[in-house]
């Protein structure tokens, strides 16, 4: 399961903590710009404007936490918790070094998902498994199809948007419980995640590890999941 001894990496918690610490810069020349950067008054003014904006939005419209709203709230919290603007800037710079690989891979995965959905390839895979499924085997083949599709669409929501429209009507037609069919799809997405460890990217970036460093363990988890989930769906579904 593990990599060869010479390729093994040990994670030192103290080193990780020290890497996350944002060092204080050398003493800078005191100018108008540096005074503003170190001024907590700027932070307070910005946060007050943000609070007023949120209050006005809630009063005139309603409170709705979408993606943009969540980012805005987190931005305001980051400002007030760092207290001085320049500290927030340095924390951003330090954090980008850690999550750089994630920022690069997210658009690539999004592109792959766009190809799979835009060309209809994911739909073809789902339909092909439905075509030879029976009332007894539909949940199992939904599970297998889900494993294949998840290799290209590692997003649970995006994955279901592609496979769900084919599996649920097939379940209704074959008089199979739609909930079991949906669970077969969900199980397949989870097992495929073992060799498509999109979920592991943040922790790998933080620990300074690569996917190959954990792939041996993930493959074993995949095999166990295929046997347990697939067997359960064949026997009990």
The answer to whether the CB of 185 falls within 8 A of the CB of 163 is: yes
Residue 143: the pLDDT is 92
Residue 10: the pLDDT is 73
* Ranges of each domain in the chain: 98-236
- Rounded percentage of the chain residues whose pLDDT exceeds 70: 88
Strand (E) or helix (H) holding 14 = helix 13-20
pTM for this entry:
0.61
The phi, psi pair for 124, rounded to 5°, reads: -65, -40
Helix axes 121-131, 138-150, angle to 10 degrees: 160
Write the pLDDT tens digit of every residue in 204-237. 777 777 777 888 888 999 999 999 999 999 888 7
């Amino acid at each position: 399961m593990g990599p060869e001894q010479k390729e093994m990496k040990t994670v030192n918690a103290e080193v990780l903590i020290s890497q996350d610490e944002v060092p204080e810069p050398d003493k800078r020349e005191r100018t108008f710009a540096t005074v503003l950067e170190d001024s907590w008054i700027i932070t307070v003014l910005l946060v007050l404007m943000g609070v007023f904006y949120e209050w006005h939005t809630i009063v005139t419209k309603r409170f709705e936490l979408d993606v943009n709203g969540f980012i805005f709230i987190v931005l305001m919290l980051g400002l007030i918790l760092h207290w001085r603007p320049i500290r927030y800037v340095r924390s951003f710079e330090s954090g980008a070094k850690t999550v750089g690989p994630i920022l690069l891979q997210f658009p690539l995965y999004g592109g792959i998902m766009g190809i799979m959905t835009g060309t209809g390839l994911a739909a073809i895979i789902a339909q092909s498994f439905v075509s030879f499924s029976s009332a007894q085997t539909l949940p199992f083949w939904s599970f297998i199809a889900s494993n294949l599709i998840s290799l290209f669409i590692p997003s649970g929501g995006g994955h279901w948007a592609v496979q769900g429209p084919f599996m649920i009507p097939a379940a209704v037609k074959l008089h199979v419980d739609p909930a079991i069919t949906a669970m077969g799809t969900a199980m397949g997405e989870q097992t495929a995640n073992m060799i498509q460890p999109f979920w592991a990217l943040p922790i790998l970036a933080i620990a300074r590890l690569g996917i190959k460093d954990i792939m041996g363990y993930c493959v074993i988890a995949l095999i166990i999941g295929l046997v347990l989930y697939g067997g359960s769906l064949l026997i009990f579904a």
